[in-house]
């Protein structure tokens, strides 16, 4: 158990780690440990693969190595990496483009609610005399958000923060498109844990899927249910998510990003669909019946993939099946009143706001920082807001079950039967709601903490929150130490604290500010 806890706080991990070891499977932790020590030049931000004259690296212990072949110095190399991360939005552009095409088709067919479309268009400062005008205006707005341009007289850090903000605005734009096209679930209650994977169903796990794919998956789960029954799956097709929630579709979630491999090790996942930019090799499917494939763009292609998953159901190895009883209820709250939150802050009924985000980073003991942070801040009357993978992390420990947590004072103020001090606003695509709330409640009154900063999207959200005036902390060191200048500048925006002192640092910051 002691060895397991160095990897993750998830108590269900023990059995699956031992199972993987006995089966000779390499999990992410094994791969990471096998690559140690990691490349020192890359850790400093002094490696470059931008052109075919490289790869180049600058040795900080050799003063004569002061630039790459094409002339980039230490400061420029480190800033180049940060800018690339802040600008990355290919998945958002692809998803938004798909939805705009679908929107045009639905408008032509008269299948769009005019009032709702007009409302969303007005939110993005788009007006017009009819549906076609709204669609054209939204398309132009999408292009504006997708391809941000540097402004004259703008500092490098100012540009980074604006890039981050624009990517999160694009996320919010896509979320609004998804709501127009697919609606929003009346209930945001979901089940989380490996037990959502059913023994008598064809289990289809979606990892990094966009709203259009989720919509197609829902339709196919209904259309192909008979095929699943014929294969002996009495519970039909079961669509589950990995590492995220959906506000548009009532799919349950099996795990956070840190423990997705355990879903495969249950022996019950028949089809695993993985999004663009994510490596299929991270799914330990060797020796298992599971079909692992990248997402496909059309419903017709997805149908063929689903049929492969249905066929795989009858190929399960019962000797490898290890079902789990891990199951918790999670609630997301999409209608928090920003003005009410501001009043609570002004009256000191809530002492501050803490946004908790980030992925699952195996360099650390996964989940530990997030759990300790929530426990500490809730006791200090700090309102915690979370989303996406961090929300899934908290949910699997029962922390987002509103029936179990309550605060009478806040419940009265927010007119809720149970009002905990930790709320999820939904999936990663809903992160923009937090920025909208802070515009009213006051970004300068917020702290954002990313205990396990992992992806470019995590960095973008942290930059966007900094742009709002929030103080940002992370427990993962950015690869920028190769430039003294950039390290100092980015450190004023995103402050690194070692995992052992992160929670104390954040708690003390609130006490000082209070």
496: which strand partners? 474
The answer to whether 234 and 292 have CB atoms below 8 angstroms apart is no
pLDDT value at residue 278: 65
Cβ-based burial of 415 (10 A; exposed 0-12, middle 13-18, buried ≥19): exposed
**Domain map of the chain by residue range?**
87-149+156-182, 194-320, 332-513
Average pLDDT over the chain, rounded to an integer: 90
Chain center to CA of 394: 13
The pTM is what?
0.93
Give the pLDDT confidence of 131-149 residue by residue, as tens digits.
Answer: 889 999 999 999 999 998 8
Q: Which of 455, 501, 502, 446 is nearest to 474 (CA)?
A: 502
How many residues does the structure list for the chain?
Answer: 514
pLDDT value at residue 161: 96
Least confident among 60-69, 85-94, 227-236, 399-408:
399-408
Same fold, 194-320 and 332-513: yes
Highest mean pLDDT among 69-73, 234-238, 357-361: 234-238
Q: In whole angstroms, give the CA distance from residue 148 to residue 467.
A: 16
Q: In whole angstroms, give the CA distance from residue 123 to residue 439.
A: 14
Give the pLDDT confidence of 85-142 residue by residue, as tens digits.
Answer: 999 999 999 999 999 999 999 999 999 998 999 999 999 999 988 888 999 999 999 9
Q: Is residue 5's pLDDT more than 70?
A: no
**pLDDT tier at 406 (50, 70, 90 boundaries)?**
very low
- Helix orientation angle between 156-182 and 114-123, rounded to the nearest 10 degrees: 170
Give the pLDDT confidence of 193-203 residue by residue, as tens digits.
Answer: 999 999 999 99
pLDDT value at residue 417: 44
Average pLDDT over residues 9-32: 92
Which tokens sit at 295? 């997402």
pLDDT value at residue 420: 54
> What CATH code would you report for 194-320?
3.40.50.2030
E strand or H helix that includes residue 164: helix 156-182
Phi first, then psi: give them for residue 357, nearest 5 degrees. -140, -170
Largest interatomic CA distance in the chain: 70
Q: Is residue 313's pLDDT more than 60?
A: yes
Strands of 291-294's sheet, edge to edge? 291-294, 269-274, 202-207, 237-242, 252-253, 189-192, 328-331
Average pLDDT over residues 37-66: 91
Cβ partners under 8 Å of residue 77, min gap 6:
45, 46, 47, 48, 58, 68, 482, 483
Integer CA distances (angstroms), 324 to 73, 198, 253, 317, in order: 52, 10, 14, 16
Q: Is residue 53's pLDDT more than 60?
A: yes
Task: Report whether the peptide linkage leading into residue 37 is cis, meaning its omega lies within 30 degrees of zero.
Answer: yes
Q: Is residue 415's pLDDT more than 90?
A: no
Comparing 237 with 398, the larger pLDDT belongs to 237
E strand or H helix that includes residue 270: strand 269-274
**pLDDT tier at 277 (50, 70, 90 boundaries)?**
low
Fold of 332-513: Rossmann fold (3.40.50)
Which tokens sit at 368? 């530990």
446: which strand partners? 353
β 237-242/252-253 pair status: parallel
CA 104, 107, 112, 117 dihedral sign is positive
Least confident among 191-195, 375-379, 433-437, 486-490:
375-379
Helices and strands (DSSP H and E) totals, the chain: 21, 15
Cβ partners under 8 Å of residue 470, min gap 6:
355, 438, 443, 444, 446, 447, 448
**pLDDT tier at 460 (50, 70, 90 boundaries)?**
very high
Integer CA distances (angstroms), 357 to 192, 217, 374, 475, in order: 18, 27, 12, 11
The residue to which tokens 């959502």 are assigned:
196
**pLDDT tier at 154 (50, 70, 90 boundaries)?**
confident
pLDDT value at residue 118: 93
- Residue 234, SS3? coil
Average pLDDT over residues 265-290: 86
């Amino acid at each position: 158990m002691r060895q397991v806890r160095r990897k993750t706080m998830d108590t269900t991990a023990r059995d699956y780690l031992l199972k993987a070891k006995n089966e000779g499977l390499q999990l992410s932790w094994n791969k990471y440990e096998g690559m140690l020590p990691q490349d020192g030049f890359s850790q400093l931000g002094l490696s470059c693969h931008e052109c075919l004259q490289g790869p180049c690296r600058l040795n900080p212990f050799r003063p004569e190595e002061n630039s790459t072949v094409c002339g980039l110095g230490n400061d420029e190399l480190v800033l180049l990496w940060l800018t690339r991360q802040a600008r990355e939005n290919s998945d958002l552009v692809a998803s938004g483009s798909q939805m705009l095409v679908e929107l045009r088709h639905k408008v032509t067919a008269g299948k769009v609610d005019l009032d709702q479309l007009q409302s969303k268009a007005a939110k993005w400062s788009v007006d017009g005399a009819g549906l076609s005008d709204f669609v054209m205006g939204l398309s132009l707005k999408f292009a504006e958000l997708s391809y941000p341009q540097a402004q004259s007289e703008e500092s490098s850090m100012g540009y980074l923060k604006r890039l981050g903000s624009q990517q999160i605005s694009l996320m919010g734009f896509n979320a609004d498109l998804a709501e127009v096209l697919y609606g929003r679930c009346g209930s945001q209650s979901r089940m989380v844990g490996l037990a959502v994977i059913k023994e008598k169903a064809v289990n289809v796990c979606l990892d990094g899927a966009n709203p259009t794919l989720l919509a197609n998956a829902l339709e196919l789960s209904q259309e192909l249910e008979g095929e699943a029954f014929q294969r002996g799956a009495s519970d039909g097709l079961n669509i589950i998510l990995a590492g995220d929630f959906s506000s548009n579709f009532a799919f349950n979630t099996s795990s956070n990003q840190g423990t997705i491999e355990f879903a495969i090790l249950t022996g019950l996942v028949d089809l695993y669909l993985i999004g663009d930019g994510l490596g299929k090799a991270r799914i330990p499917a060797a020796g298992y019946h599971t079909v692992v494939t990248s997402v496909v763009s059309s419903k017709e292609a997805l149908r063929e993939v689903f049929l492969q998953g249905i066929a795989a159901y009858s190929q399960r190895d019962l000797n490898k099946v290890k079902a789990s009883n891990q199951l918790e209820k999670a609630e997301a709250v999409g209608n928090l009143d920003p003005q009410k939150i501001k009043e609570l802050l002004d009256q000191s009924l809530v002492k501050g706001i803490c946004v908790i985000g980030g992925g699952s980073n195996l360099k650390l003991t996964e989940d530990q920082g997030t759990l300790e942070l929530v426990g500490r801040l809730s006791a200090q009357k700090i309102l915690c807001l979370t989303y996406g993978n961090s929300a899934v992390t908290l949910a699997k420990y029962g922390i987002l079950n509103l029936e179990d947590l309550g605060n009478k004072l806040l419940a009265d103020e927010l007119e809720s039967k149970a009002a905990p001090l930790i709320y999820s606003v939904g999936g990663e695509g809903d992160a923009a709601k937090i920025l909208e709330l802070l515009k009213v409640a006051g970004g300068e009154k917020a702290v954002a903490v990313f205990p396990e900063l992992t992806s470019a999207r995590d960095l973008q959200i942290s930059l966007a929150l900094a742009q709002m005036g929030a103080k940002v902390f992370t427990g993962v060191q950015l690869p920028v130490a190769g430039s003294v200048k950039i390290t100092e500048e980015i450190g004023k925006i995103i402050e690194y604290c070692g995992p052992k002192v992160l929670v104390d640092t954040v708690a003390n910051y609130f006490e000082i500010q209070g």
